[in-house]
Amino acid sequence: MFEINLRRIRDLREDMDLKQRDLAKALNISQRAYSHYENGTRKIPLDILVALADYYNCSVDYLLGRTKKKDVNK
């Protein structure tokens, strides 16, 4: 089983100058829930992982650390 690259998730957010609350609002979850996901105290549900990939226009594999290529194959 693969672990989500939490550092990558945080870096993507910070690179866009977003606060956790901003991303939580975009994902329709609480800031507290998002914080737990980003800090690794709770597992990120698959639907949220897919929503993050869509939001950042990257692949789920990128978020999982399975590839270094951020761009989604078209």
| pLDDT tens per residue, range 61-70 | 999 988 888 8
CATH label of the domain that carries residue 54: 1.10.260.40
Per-residue pLDDT averaged across 14-19, rounded?
96
pLDDT-derived band of residue 73, with 50, 70 and 90 as boundaries? low
pLDDT at 74 over 70: no
Tell me what pLDDT residue 4 has: 80
Structural domain harbouring 41: 6-64
In a domain, 74, yes or no: no
In a domain, 22, yes or no: yes
Q: What is the model's pTM?
A: 0.89
In a domain, 34, yes or no: yes
Other CB atoms closer than 10 Å to residue 17's CB: what's the count?
7
In a domain, 28, yes or no: yes
